Amino acid sequence: MVDTPIGAAGPFPGSEPDEAELYHPHSWLTRYVFSQDAKVIAIQYSGTALAIGFVALILSWLIRLQLGFPGLFSFIGPAEYYQIITMHGMIMVVYLLTAVFLGGFGNYLIPLMIGARDMVFPYVNMLSYWIYLLAVLVLVASFFAPGGPTGAGWTLYPPQAILSGTPGQGWGIVLMLASLILFIIGFTMGGVNYVVTVLQARAPGMTLMRMPLTIWGIFTATVLALLAFPALFVGAVMMLLDRLLGTSFFMPMIIEAGQRLHYGGGTPILFQHLFWFFGHPEVYIVALPAFGIVSDLISTHARKNIFGYRMMVWAIIAIGALSFVVWAHHMYVSGMNPYFGFFFATTTLIIAVPTAIKVYNWVLTLWRGDIHLTVPMLFAIAFIVTFLNGGLTGLFLGNVVVDVPLSDTLFVVAHFHMVMGVAPILVIFGGIYHWYPKVTGRMLDERLGRLHFWVTFLGAYLIFFPMHYLGLLGVPRRYFEITGLGFIPASAASLNAFISVVALVVGAAQVVFVVNLIRSLWHGVPAGGNPWHATTLEWQTPDTPPRHGNWGARLPVVYRWPYDYSVPGAAEDFVPQNQPSHTAGVAP
Amino acid sequence: MSLVLLYLAGLGAVSGRWLARQHLAAKPWLSAGPSLTLPPDGGTELAAKLALGIFLAVVGLLFALLVAAYGMRVPPGSTGIPLDPRLLWLTTGFLGLASLLLHRAGRAARRGAEDEAHATLLAAVAASLVFLGGQGLAWRLIWEAEAGRTADAAGSFFVLITLLHGLHLAGGLAALARIAVGAAWTGSPARLARSIGLCTLYWDALLVIWLVAFGILFRTPWSGLIDVLCRPPA
Q: Measured in whole angstroms, how far is the alpha carbon of residue A330 from the centre of its chain? A: 19
**Which chain B residues are closer than 8 Å to A192 by Cβ?**
51, 54-55, 58
The full length of chain B comes to 234
Name the H helices within A2-94.
Answer: 28, 38-68, 78-90
Q: Of the candidates B195, B199, B222, B216, which has an alpha carbon nearest to the alpha carbon of residue B65?
A: B216
B141 touching A (Cβ < 8 Å)? no
CB A373 within 8 A of CB A317: no
What per-residue confidence (pLDDT) applies to B37?
Answer: 52
Q: How do the residues of chain B divide into helix, strand and coil, expressed in percent and rounded to 5?
A: 75, 0, 25
Give the containing element (helix H, strand E) for A259: strand A259-260
Question: Are B34 and A196 in contact (CB < 8 Å)?
Answer: no
What per-residue confidence (pLDDT) applies to A3?
Answer: 43
Mean pLDDT within B14-38 = 79
Q: For residue A241, count other CB atoms closer than 10 A to its CB.
A: 21
Question: Are B35 and A11 in contact (CB < 8 Å)?
Answer: no
Residue A269's identity, in one-letter code, is I
Mean pLDDT within B132-146 = 88
What per-residue confidence (pLDDT) applies to B29?
Answer: 87
Tell me the β-bridge partners of A260. Answer: A255
**Model confidence at B140: pLDDT above 90:** no
Question: Are A580 and B72 in contact (CB < 8 Å)?
Answer: no
What residue segments make up the domains of chain B, in order of their start? 45-75+86-230
* 3-class secondary structure, A565: strand
CB A259 within 8 A of CB B91: no
Please state, in angstroms and rounded to a whole number, the distance separating the CA atoms of residues A503 and A476.
19
Residue A409, phi then psi, degrees to nearest 5: -115, 175
Peptide bond into A25 cis (omega under 30): no
**Model confidence at B233: pLDDT above 70:** no
CB A252 within 8 A of CB A265: yes
What per-residue confidence (pLDDT) applies to A352?
Answer: 92
B4 touching A (Cβ < 8 Å)? yes
Q: What is the mean pLDDT of each run of 10 residues along chain A (588 residues)?
A: 41 48 73 89 96 96 94 92 96 96 97 94 95 97 95 94 91 96 96 95 92 97 96 96 92 89 90 94 95 97 96 95 89 86 90 94 95 97 95 90 92 95 96 97 97 97 96 92 85 94 96 96 94 96 92 90 92 90 68
Nearest chain A CA: its distance from B51 CA (Å): 6
Burial of B68 from C-beta contacts in 10 A (0-12 / 13-18 / 19+): buried
What per-residue confidence (pLDDT) applies to A570?
Answer: 87
Pairs of residues, one from chain A and one from chain B, whose beta carbons lie less than 8 Å apart: 178
Question: Are B36 and A121 in contact (CB < 8 Å)?
Answer: no
Nearest chain A CA: its distance from B47 CA (Å): 6
B37 touching A (Cβ < 8 Å)? yes
Nearest chain B CA: its distance from A412 CA (Å): 26
Nearest chain A CA: its distance from B206 CA (Å): 16
Question: Are A564 and B29 in contact (CB < 8 Å)?
Answer: yes
**Which chain A residues are closer than 8 Å to B156 by Cβ?**
241, 247-249
Question: Are A313 and B24 in contact (CB < 8 Å)?
Answer: yes
**Which chain B residues are closer than 8 Å to A307 by Cβ?**
none
**Which chain B residues are closer than 8 Å to A199 by Cβ?**
50
* 3-class secondary structure, B139: helix
Nearest chain A CA: its distance from B174 CA (Å): 15
CB A427 within 8 A of CB A381: no
B50 touching A (Cβ < 8 Å)? yes
What per-residue confidence (pLDDT) applies to A23?
Answer: 67
Nearest chain B CA: its distance from A456 CA (Å): 37
Question: Are A200 and B152 in contact (CB < 8 Å)?
Answer: no
Please state, in angstroms and rounded to a whole number, the distance separating the CA atoms of residues A75 and A62.
10
Residue to mutate among A123, A128, A208, with most B CBs inside 10 A, is: A208
Among A207, A265, A325, beta carbon nearest to B37: A207
Please state, in angstroms and rounded to a whole number, the distance separating the CA atoms of residues A363 and A359.
6
What per-residue confidence (pLDDT) applies to A22?
Answer: 63
What per-residue confidence (pLDDT) applies to A518?
Answer: 96
Peptide bond into A545 cis (omega under 30): yes
Question: Are B34 and A120 in contact (CB < 8 Å)?
Answer: no
**Which chain B residues are closer than 8 Å to A201 by Cβ?**
47
Residue A240, phi then psi, degrees to nearest 5: -60, -40
Residue A256, phi then psi, degrees to nearest 5: -120, 125
Residue A341, phi then psi, degrees to nearest 5: -60, -45
Long-range CB pairs of B40-47 (<8 Å, 24+ gap) are B40/A13, B41/A11, B41/A13, B42/A13, B42/A15, B42/A200, B43/A13, B43/A15, B44/A15, B44/A120, B45/B194, B46/A15, B46/A200, B47/A15, B47/A120, B47/A121, B47/A196, B47/A200, B47/A201
Phi-psi region of A14 (alpha: psi -120 to 50; beta: other; left: phi over 0): left
Nearest CA in chain B to A4: B33
What per-residue confidence (pLDDT) applies to B231?
Answer: 64
Please state, in angstroms and rounded to a whole number, the distance separating the CA atoms of residues A522 and A309.
38
Please state, in angstroms and rounded to a whole number, the distance separating the CA atoms of residues A241 and A236.
9
Please state, in angstroms and rounded to a whole number, the distance separating the CA atoms of residues A221 and A282.
9
Task: Tell me whether strands A259-260 and A255-256 are parallel, antiparallel or unpaired.
Answer: antiparallel
What per-residue confidence (pLDDT) applies to A1?
Answer: 43
Residue to mutate among B156, B162, B168, with most A CBs inside 10 A, is: B156
Question: Are A274 and B149 in contact (CB < 8 Å)?
Answer: no
Q: Which domains does chain A have, with CATH numbers?
A: 40-252+265-584 (1.20.210.10)
Among B1, B30, B160, beta carbon nearest to A273: B1
Name the H helices within A158-212.
Answer: 171-200
* 3-class secondary structure, A357: helix
Question: Are A4 and B34 in contact (CB < 8 Å)?
Answer: yes
Nearest chain B CA: its distance from A349 CA (Å): 20
What per-residue confidence (pLDDT) applies to A17?
Answer: 56
* CB proximity under 8 Å: B 147-166 to A: 148-153, 156, 159-160, 164
What per-residue confidence (pLDDT) applies to A268?
Answer: 93
**Which chain A residues are closer than 8 Å to B160 by Cβ?**
237-238, 241, 247, 249
B234 touching A (Cβ < 8 Å)? no
Annotate B22-37 with b (16+ C-beta within 10 A) or e (fewer): eeeebebbebbbbbbe
- Angle (CA) B172 B176 B181, round 5°: 150
Among A200, A226, A230, beta carbon nearest to B50: A200
CATH number belonging to domain B45-75+86-230: 1.20.120.80
Nearest chain A CA: its distance from B116 CA (Å): 30
B43 touching A (Cβ < 8 Å)? yes
Nearest CA in chain A to B31: A1
What per-residue confidence (pLDDT) applies to B42?
Answer: 55
